[in-house]
Amino acid sequence: MGGAAAGVNFYAAYPMSPSTGVLMWMAAHARQLDIMVRQVEDEIGVMCMVIGAAHAGCRAMCATSGGGFALMTEAIGMAGCSRLQSFVWMCSEADPPPAFPPRPSRATCGRRWVPGRAITRG
């Protein structure tokens, strides 16, 4: 909902739990909010579509989980080097899931902030 409120008009995703709920919500409200929603064949394609939409001038967004984010890191680095603005929302679950309430683990937090090459970190 936050992405829609911020004016996102392009959303691409691959249905990977726990981020599938974001795709389902965006798809259900796409017509009334004027958002182009695309389900893509894999996470690499998702990020490449988001980069293309951002290059065309759209406010682009995608959501993924830890495994999908790992596949997207090269494309995220390219977006950073190109200075293309896009939003990647990483949904995560706690480790181990049955023992603790939902919260990101320390390993997940460190990787999500600095994907790609060193040039995108500065």
- Which of the four pLDDT bands, split at 50, 70 and 90, describes residue 105? low
Residue with tokens 């682009």: 60
* Residues 18-47 pLDDT 10s: 888 889 999 999 999 999 999 999 999 999
pLDDT tops 70 at residue 97: no
pLDDT, mean over the chain: 78
DSSP letter string over 40-92?
-SSHHHHHHHHHHHHHTT--EEEEE-HHHHHHHHHHHHHHHHHT---EEEE--
Is the CB of residue 92 less than 8 Å from the CB of residue 118? no
Comparison of pLDDT for 23 and 70, the residue scoring more: 23
Give the phi and the psi of residue 109 in degrees, each rounded to 5.
Answer: -60, -40
Provide the whole-model pTM: 0.76
Q: What share of the chain is helix, strand, coil (3-state, %, to 5)?
A: 50, 15, 35
